[in-house]
């Protein structure tokens, strides 16, 4: 299972957009899912979330896959990414206060099947490893890579990176 997962993840990287395609205005983000990819789709809430993941900052994208592989191997869970890149309209409809998803520097992960110990182990491991890449929390003013919260859609991890990881260009009038 681990070898199949790692092979699938490696192959998935070859399907990323060309560098110039990553810097697209939000209006050009996929609105409909592409072709199904069954092996990888198990890690995403929907095909659209998976398709939009390719528009994350490349380092964020790689860390997301590192986290997925670590969770499968270490925690023996099947992680589910519930959100990746979004539009301003989607963020507004959900009442988001941050533009981290819109900027291509954040993703969300479902935690409803996780024990408190598994959540703690995941947060401790990746916070220690990537604290230098974390976004600055508006609440604390400190770097915070992983926020465990419920903003009305279920408890989940919001994994956020510093503004220097922004890739999605805002459209100008």
Measured CA to CA, the distance from residue 145 to residue 1 in angstroms comes to 28
pLDDT at position 71, please?
97
Q: Which of 130, 155, 132, 151 is nearest to 64 (CA)?
A: 130
Residue 68, both tokens? 């997925």
The residue to which tokens 């976004």 are assigned: 135
- Report angle CA 26, 132, 127 to the nearest 5 degrees: 95
Q: Quote the DSSP letter at residue 103.
A: T
pLDDT at position 33, please?
56
Across 70-88, b (16+ Cβ under 10 Å) vs e yields bbbeebebebbbbbbbbbe
Domain-wise residue ranges, the chain: 2-26+38-165
Are the C-beta atoms of residues 109 and 53 closer than 8 Å to each other? no
pLDDT at position 10, please?
57
Q: Which of 98, 110, 123 is nearest to 154 (CA)?
A: 110
Instruction: For residue 107, count other CB atoms closer than 10 A to its CB.
Output: 27
Measured CA to CA, the distance from residue 114 to residue 130 in angstroms comes to 21
Instruction: For residue 170, count other CB atoms closer than 10 A to its CB.
Output: 11
Q: Quote the DSSP letter at residue 165.
A: G
What residues contact 69, with CB distance under 8 A and at least 6 apart? 2, 5, 6, 9
> CATH code for 2-26+38-165?
3.30.1380
pLDDT at position 168, please?
64
Q: What is the pLDDT along the chain (173 residues), one digit of tens a residue?
A: 555 555 555 555 555 555 445 455 555 566 665 555 555 688 999 988 999 899 999 999 999 999 999 999 999 999 999 999 887 676 565 655 667 887 889 999 999 999 999 999 999 999 999 999 999 988 888 999 999 987 667 789 999 999 999 986 655 44
């Amino acid at each position: 299972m681990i070898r199949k997962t790692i092979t699938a993840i490696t192959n998935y990287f070859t399907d990323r957009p060309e560098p110039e395609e990553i810097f697209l205005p939000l209006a050009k983000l996929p609105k409909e899912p592409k072709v199904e990819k069954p092996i990888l789709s198990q890690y995403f809430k929907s095909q659209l979330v998976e398709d939009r993941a390719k528009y994350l900052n490349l380092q964020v994208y790689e860390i997301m896959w590192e986290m997925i592989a670590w969770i499968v191997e270490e925690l023996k869970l099947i992680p589910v990414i519930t959100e990746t890149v979004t539009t301003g309209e989607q963020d507004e409809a959900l009442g988001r206060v941050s533009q981290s998803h819109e900027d291509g520097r954040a993703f969300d992960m479902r935690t409803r099947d996780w024990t408190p110990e598994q959540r703690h182990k995941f947060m401790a491991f990746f916070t220690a490893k990537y604290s230098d890449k974390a976004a600055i929390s508006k609440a604390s003013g400190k770097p915070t890579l992983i926020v465990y919260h419920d903003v009305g859609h279920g408890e989940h991890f919001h994994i956020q990176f510093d503004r220097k990881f922004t890739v999605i260009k805002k459209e100008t009038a």
